[in-house]
Amino acid sequence: MSLIKYIFRRVLIIIPELFGALTLTFILSRLMPGNPAVALLVSRGIPKPNPNIIAQMEHELGLDLPIIIQYFRYLGELFTGQWGESVVIVRQMPVWDLILQFLPFTADLAIFSIIIASYIGIKIGVISATHRNKARDTIFRFFALVGVSVPIFFMGMLLQYLLGYVIPIFPTASYKSIEYKSPPRVTGFYMIDSLISGKLYLVADYLVHLALPIFCLAFVTLAGIVRQTRSSMLEILEQDYIRTARAKGCKEKDVIHSHALKNALIPTVTIIGLNVAGLLTGAVLTETTFGIYGLGRLLVDSINLTDYWVLNGVVFLMTLIYLCANLFTDVIYAILDPRIRY
Amino acid sequence: MQEYQLEIEEIDQKKERSLQKIFKWFLKNIKFLLIPGSRIEELSRREIEYEKNRSQRKFIRRLKSVLTISGLIIIFIIITLAVFPQWISPFSYDHITGIHPSAWGRPNAINILGRTAQGRDVFGRLVFGARTSLTIALPSIAISVMGGVVLGVLAAYYRGWLDSIIMRVSDVIFAFPGLVLALVIIKIWGARIEYILLVWGLLGIPFYARLIRGNVLQARALPYVAAAKVAGAGNWRIMFRHILPNTIQPIIISFTFDIGGVILGLAALSYLGLGDASLVEWGNDISFARGNLYTAPWASLWPGFMILVTVLGFMLVGDGLRDALDPRLKNI
């Protein structure tokens, strides 16, 4: 079937998946201990609310309605943008503003890591496949295997110790040095704001601070990409059409890049898509190790501190990102390989 | 008299001739007789057995690469640590969970890798932690694999609405991040490792269901399934005695990779401080000693290294299995 029909069907499939995930989230957030009404009242400045006020706030929030109506209210509020306000993390701050404070750091980490990891990973995967079982291949395979099995916090801590303490090259925590002030907020992204304000030392400072976390994330992502690229390249290099291309007199460079790599990239794109989704939904461990407060850290804190509306908003956003990344991956897959359009 | 003599001569000549015949046959066939098992019936039977074992022997020969053997050695060491910790660690379990003086002791002759915040021996905690990791990872994977295989085979064999329902529900569960679910469960029911284990087991079911579903979809179109049906086999018998053994191969490979993944996930949960803090576990050690990374790096870096080595062992074996079972390389 045509590409448009495939995209249409794929987008249609997202809707029940999204509703399923939201239903699960609703059930879980209702099971969490604590009364959202009480938490909201406490955050608004009433430390010990009496039962009348609690009942009034519950009526306002709709917590005394039947559970089905609460479910539909929950869905309505999520989709119309009324995500409530935070009650513990930053009191009385709207959830969307809170998320926008921390999302840019996660986005920066994710974007830099994915670009570096994809570019280097595909190159290394091709080299590893074309020089199979030689010294280069064995070394790359070993590093890829280590990258897949290393716990990312251990790697972060090791780098902090070796490159931040023993040989003090890199700073070990946070995204900026304490003595520098943040640039005035235009977009929310630290690098863009620093460039706009003209203070280039802030950009350099930011990049040096993010170097270690990006290295950790890129290393782990790169390992998966190298393994997948190598395995699919090996499978393709055995095919008859590669032999035909060589027999026709194609340069080896063209054979590998124009013929083999194009087809080998298809499963690799799936892996990259999954990794983008995973990185964008917050690399909690890296953010905890390096003290960068991003989306993953916000999620963990909102669960621990039972910040009800922040939790709903963040999980909704993460589910949306995850499903969109999967959709994007499937569409690219269908564009690259016309046989896949079921 | 003459007749007797004639007969005796004839018999003698016959004997001579038969002796000569035997002798000549022997000389002619000696090159075949020297091959062990060269008699014709035995040869065909041995041929059959030789062919049957050939694929097994090739598999074992391909499995014998350096990396896979080192992976197996690593796994063997970890299992030994898990089963016999009290004989390998110089300090007892009570020491590992007690409080002693000389906190953050440097590595010396008695404490090979130093001491932690509560004066516990780091090496001892590494050894006892192996048991925790394995006993949590293995049941979780077992739940995933068994549930996933059963659901996948059912969905692919019956097709129709059963297939659609199982696949759609799988997609929804698959999309849910495991860490979030584990955190919420910890919040609701407390940091009980059994619940986290169960949740991760259930979350892994869609992955295996999808994996085996593809293979079963291909297998059910093959002639042997039709032959089994004609022979009168019931549906369950066909599914689990005919199709399943032929499609289990990617499950075995994914299973070894997944053990590494669950160990990493468990360590991550403990590192964030959200696991059971009373367990002797590598992630717990890292989270306790994280604040003193620069003054006492041995307390947090060695547990991390153990996690790396354990997961590396499982990944090496998984890689080796995958390369050995690769059908395209059957002639190498």
- Residue of A33, A150, A319 with shortest CB distance to B175: A319
- Chain B partners of A288 at a C-beta cutoff of 8 Å? 271-272
- Chain B partners of A326 at a C-beta cutoff of 8 Å? 175
Q: What pLDDT digit, counting tens, does each position of A47-93 carry? A: 888 888 888 888 888 888 888 998 998 888 888 888 888 888 888 88
A20 in contact with chain B, both atoms CB, cutoff 8 A? yes
Quote the pLDDT of residue B302.
93
Q: Is B188 in Cβ contact with A145 (below 8 Å)?
A: no
Asked if B58 and B91 count as a contact pair (C-beta separation under 8 A), the reply is: no
- Residue of B274, B293, B312 with shortest CB distance to A149: B312
For A:301-340, CB contacts with B below 8 A are 303-304, 306, 315, 318-319, 322-323, 326
CB atoms within 10 A of CB A260: 24
CA–CA gap between residue B115 and residue B121 (Å, rounded): 5
- Chain B partners of A142 at a C-beta cutoff of 8 Å? 67
Closest CA to A52 of A41, A65, A62, A36: A41
Mean per-residue pLDDT, A314-336: 84
CA of residue B191 relative to chain centroid, distance: 29
Distance from the Cα of A94 to chain B's closest Cα (Å) equals 22
Rounded to the nearest 5°, which phi and psi values hold at A187? -105, -20
Quote the pLDDT of residue B37.
53
Q: Is A160 in Cβ contact with B175 (below 8 Å)?
A: no
CA–CA gap between residue B130 and residue B136 (Å, rounded): 10
Q: Is the overall model pTM greater than 0.90, yes or no?
A: no
Quote the pLDDT of residue B331.
44
Mean per-residue pLDDT, A173-184: 86
Beta bridge partners of B121: B115
CB atoms within 10 A of CB B161: 8
Is the pLDDT score of B332 beyond 50? Answer: no
Percent of residues, chain A, with pLDDT higher than 90: 23
Higher-pLDDT residue of B331, A20: A20
- Ranges of H-type helices in chain A: 3-31, 36-43, 51-61, 67-80, 95-130, 135-149, 152-161, 190-197, 200-237, 240-248, 252-254, 262-280, 284-290, 295-304, 308-336
Q: What pLDDT digit, counting tens, does each position of B215-267 carry? A: 888 888 888 888 988 988 888 888 888 888 888 888 888 899 999 999 998 89
Q: Is A326 in Cβ contact with B172 (below 8 Å)?
A: no
Q: Is A150 in Cβ contact with B315 (below 8 Å)?
A: no
A163 in contact with chain B, both atoms CB, cutoff 8 A? no
- Residue of A149, A161, A319 with shortest CB distance to B301: A161
- Residue of B267, B274, B304 with shortest CB distance to A157: B304
Q: What pLDDT digit, counting tens, does each position of B27-50 carry? A: 887 776 676 655 556 556 666 776
